Homo-oligomer: A and B are copies of this chain.
Amino acid sequence: MEDIKIIEVKRSILEDNDEDADKLREELAAQKTFLLNLMSSPGAGKTTTLLRTIEKLKDELKIGVMEADIDSDVDTRAILGSGVRSIQLHTGGMCHLDADMTRQGLKEIGSEDFDLVILENVGNLVCPAEFDTGAVRNAMILSVPEGDDKPLKYPLMFEIADVVLINKCDTLSVFSDFDTEKVKERIRMRNPKADIYFISAKTGEGIDNWCNWLRKQVAEYKENI
């Protein structure tokens, strides 16, 4: 079995995370590396969505993945099977990553080798939204079984998301009280600018639209730096 690289990232002692996140964005721009911060509740399908995304984009872009969790390496094992470089970040019990913790991971994975590094943040709809990781874009996943009321309850997460993926759409007939129009209204109430895509990482539905969005973001970033 392949060795999993596990990095114990240490909590930053810096007082101003926002300032440090801006600094990290400059460091990444110098490397021409696009960092995507992917957030969701536990079990919303971050890793499965990543596997689909890698499958679609790995021939066009050099992709690296950093899997953050409090414990375990199950997600990193899953990603390694896709053929891209992947490392596991352990947060020592912490509920989120800040910019310096993200930087520790980027150094270990060797971010200068990649066009696109995806950080899978800790599964949590609250705390990760409060800490800028230094990413160029924030993506979040809301899964159908969680319900269409989540933008009402977790405002900040939806406010800071540049794109919202509504995953597990193949189960809309099972979770028939999930209202696809209402959820869009509620997301737009929090964040009128967020792009919204309905996907099923399981069946592949909607993955092309999401990958087109991501491809375009990376291209525009590389053109403008």
Q: Which residues of A line the B interface, CB within 8 A?
A: 41-43, 69-72, 74, 93, 95, 122-127, 130, 143, 145-147, 149-150, 152-156, 168, 171, 174
Contacts and interface: CB of A to CB of B under 8 A. Distances in A.
**How many copies of this chain?**
2
Contacts of A126: 70, 95, 122, 124, 127
Contacts of A43: 41, 143, 145-147, 150
| Secondary structure call for the A interface | loop
A186 B145 CA distance: 23
Contacts of A146: 41-43
A42 B153 contact: yes
Nearest to A148: B43
Contacts of A72: 149, 152-153
Given A41-B42, A70-B156, 7 more contacts: A43-B146, A74-B153, A95-B124, A95-B126, A95-B127, A124-B126, A174-B174
Point out which of A42, A70, A71, A145 has the most chain B C-beta atoms below 10 A from its C-beta: A42
A155 B95 CA distance: 12
